[in-house]
Structure 1
Amino acid sequence: MPTRIEVVADPVRDRCVLTTDHISPRRLPAPTGVVRVALVAAGALLLAGDRVHLEIDVSGPVRVEIVETAGTVAYGMRGASARWDVDIRLTAGARLWWHGEPFVVSADAAVTRSMTVRMESGCRAALRESLVLGRHGEAGGALQTLTRAWIEDELVLAEDLDLSPEARGGWAVLGSARCLDTVTSLGFRLPEDAQTLQLEGCGSIARRLVHEHHESDLRRLP
């Protein structure tokens, strides 16, 4: 059973149903029109063999804010691997803001991360993903990321990144950096600048390559 966050807008009180698996979602106080949910690890994460699956389903004119209470460390896996999969569905004017904390891939870890977003026109999402290859003084393990996003039937984003040690050092990937910090907007565009990619569909990707996570200036979602 996946961890699941289901929110339905209601004029009296927005309905929020939370299901726990590897991650325990907990509702936090928030102003009217906002549902704020914290993600808390229900046990040690991320270990060899773990299969974390998180589903977020939001319907109606409500803003859902996902808060990570701490970063995640993928520990050494001795030849094994782990997965971290996120499926997001937004309908009827829903908005999702997710400010991700650092996801650290330790030496000898092997992780596949995927995110799939399906949303109707009129919905919005802003997603921050901070990937850190290795703890302090480490080279870091292997990471594969897969991202797909649709607005209605239009595929607006399809990105696969091979961040394994032998691939990520190329100048077109990370070069000498060890942190990849990204803010993705869907359903609206981020302001134009030299480091922001405007998608053909309605969305943008702002990305920073830095050696230390705190050096990134992508500290807040729009």
Structure 2
Amino acid sequence: MSLTATARITAAPGGSLPVLESDGPLALRRTRTTGPDADARVTVVGAMSAPLGGDRLALEADVRDGARLLVDAAAATVALPGRTPAPAHYDVRLTVGEDAELRWLPEQLISAYGSELCMRTTVQLAATARLVLREEQILGRHGEEPGTLTTRLTVHRAGAPLLDQELRYGPGASVGWDGGAVLGGHRAVGQLLLVDPDMADKPAEPRLLGETAVLTPLAGPAVLVTALAADARLLRRVLDRALDDLTG
């Protein structure tokens, strides 16, 4: 039997969370902030195994004008096969208002053998909004082949497109997804997106961040870091270093 669930977060200025609504496997907990980067922090805690084949999950976050929110997770999300052959769907919908800031830093998404997951992240940013968004995909648990994973990240800023990219891995993907032109045998893939209006005056320069990571300026006050690594630990190290470098 498949599952449908939608969890919701609304953040207001001053650390208020007028909406904190858990649903199904998506349990939301307010946790203590650990630095000056956010007025409120919400941790996603998995309440059951999900997503399984056929599940439809959604997580929505609305950061109102002037608010600052950090969202992280207590553990990795593991996509698993279910009783139905239908793919699982996981939609993340984020809205960040004027002079607001969202730091979206979940743990890794693991594509287990036999699973099929379609994950869609959609972001709507106001013109003066700030965003730090990290995505990490781990293709297979230790010693196993991955499932089929499709991810799409779409970002609009002030109503205009900023980024729209789709990635697809595993046995259901096109031939060559694991070849030298794509993953080259790596099993950890990550993206770090940073949007900051202050970058309009100091745009970043494109550059390599080691042998398998690159920083790319976008057509707006934003940069995208894309990285490959042998495992989750090495991937996180690359993305953390890039974030420290970009934010000082």
TM-score, L = length of structure 1: 0.91
Deviation track 1:95-128 (CA, whole Å, cap 9, x = no partner) reads 0012221110011100000000001111011111
- 2:9 is matched by which residue type in structure 1? I
TM-superposed CA distance for 1:68, in Å, is 0.6
| Secondary structure, aligned partner of 2:233 | helix
Q: How does 1:5-154 map to 2 (within 5 A)?
A: 5-10=9-14, 14-21=16-23, 22-30=25-33, 34-77=39-82, 79-154=85-160
| Residue 214 (structure 1) aligned to one of 208, 215, 233 | 233
Deviation track 1:11-44 (CA, whole Å, cap 9, x = no partner) reads xx63432011131111112368611001011222
Q: Is the 8 A contact 2:50 2:77 kept in 1?
A: yes
| Residue 182 (structure 2) aligned to one of 166, 169, 173 | 173
- Cα distance between partner residues in 2 of 1:141 and 1:128: 21
| Secondary structure, aligned partner of 2:104 | strand
Unaligned runs of 5+ in 2: 209-213
Identity %, equivalent residues: 29
Query: Comparing 120-129 with 196-205, which one deviates more in the overlay?
Result: 196-205
Q: Is the 8 A contact 1:6 1:56 kept in 2?
A: yes
Q: Which portions of structure 1, spanning 4 or more consecutive aligned residues, are displaced by more than 6 angstroms?
A: none
**How many residues are matched?**
220
TM-superposed CA distance for 1:139, in Å, is 1.4
| Secondary structure, aligned partner of 1:177 | coil
Q: How large is the Cα RMSD of the aligned pairs?
A: 2.0
Deviation track 1:41-79 (CA, whole Å, cap 9, x = no partner) reads 122222122111000001122220012110011113463
Unaligned runs of 5+ in 1: none
- 1:29 is matched by which residue type in structure 2? R
TM-score, L = length of structure 2: 0.82
- Cα distance between partner residues in 2 of 1:72 and 1:66: 14
